[in-house]
Amino acid sequence: MPKQTGQPSPNEAQPASPPPPETPPELQRKPKVDKGSGSPPKKLKTEDIVEGNGKAATSGQQLTVNYVGVLFESGKEFDASWERKQPFPFKLGEGTVIPGWDKGLEGMKVGGRRRLTIPPEQAYGEQGSPPAIGPNETLIFVIDLLNVQ
């Protein structure tokens, strides 16, 4: 997921590496992401939907992921690598994505699918990311970790 204002976005052309051929079947289809329930969490929440069994992601490594992002309150999808038919590559822990991704993907293993519920302070904060993401929005991502280098 793109970082705050003035920084790269997954909508911009970036070099990508294809997913490895042994990608688990459950990661070969775009997941349905439900809106949040109850009050939005105040802290980052991680939930492994599919446990990976490959290499674990650590800070400084190049990750390749597929993802879907929705708004917590409405469930409205605002971005998905699946729609571009192109996995999203980035370096973990270097601030090229929102803080919730840098923190929430640490330790995830290749072949895994993880749901992140990210409070505004670790997403886009007060400024949001108009027009799709308003100010102080809590976001939900389902992220598939395809590769770690």
Q: Which of 72, 88, 98, 144 is catalytic?
A: 98
Q: Which residues pair with 79 in a beta bridge?
A: 69
Annotated catalytic residue within 102, 118, 141, 144? 141
The one-letter amino acid code at 48 reads: D
pLDDT at 22: 66
Q: Which of 119, 115, 121 is nearest to 141 (CA)?
A: 115
Let me know: does 2 contact 97? Beta carbons within 8 Å: yes
Contact predicate 55/148, CB 8 Å? yes
Q: What is the pLDDT of residue 148?
A: 97
139: Cβ contacts below 8 Å, ≥ 6 apart: 1, 69, 70, 71, 72, 78, 100, 116, 117, 118, 123, 124, 133
Say whether 34 is catalytic. Answer: no
pLDDT digits (tens, 9 = 90+) for 103-145: 999 999 999 999 999 999 999 999 999 999 999 999 999 999 9
- Which is catalytic among the residues 72, 88, 90, 124? 124
48 catalytically annotated: no
Contacts of 133 by beta carbon, 8 Å cutoff, 6+ apart: 71, 78, 123, 124, 139
- Calculate mean pLDDT across residues 84-95: 96
Is 79 marked active-site?
yes
The 10 Å Cβ neighbour count of residue 85 is 7
Query: Beta partners for 2?
Result: 97
Q: Quote the tokens at residue 34.
A: 């439900």
Confidence class for position 1, pLDDT limits 50, 70, 90: low
Which position among 72, 79, 143, 144 bears the catalytic label? 79
Write down the CATH number for the domain with range 43-148: 3.10.50.40
Q: Is 98 tagged catalytic? A: yes
Q: How many CB atoms lie within 10 A of CB 108?
A: 27
- pLDDT tens digit string along 3-60? 444 444 444 444 444 445 567 788 889 999 999 999 999 999 999 999 999 999 999 9
Q: Is 88 a catalytic residue?
A: no
Given the residues 67, 72, 88, 90, the one annotated as active site: 67
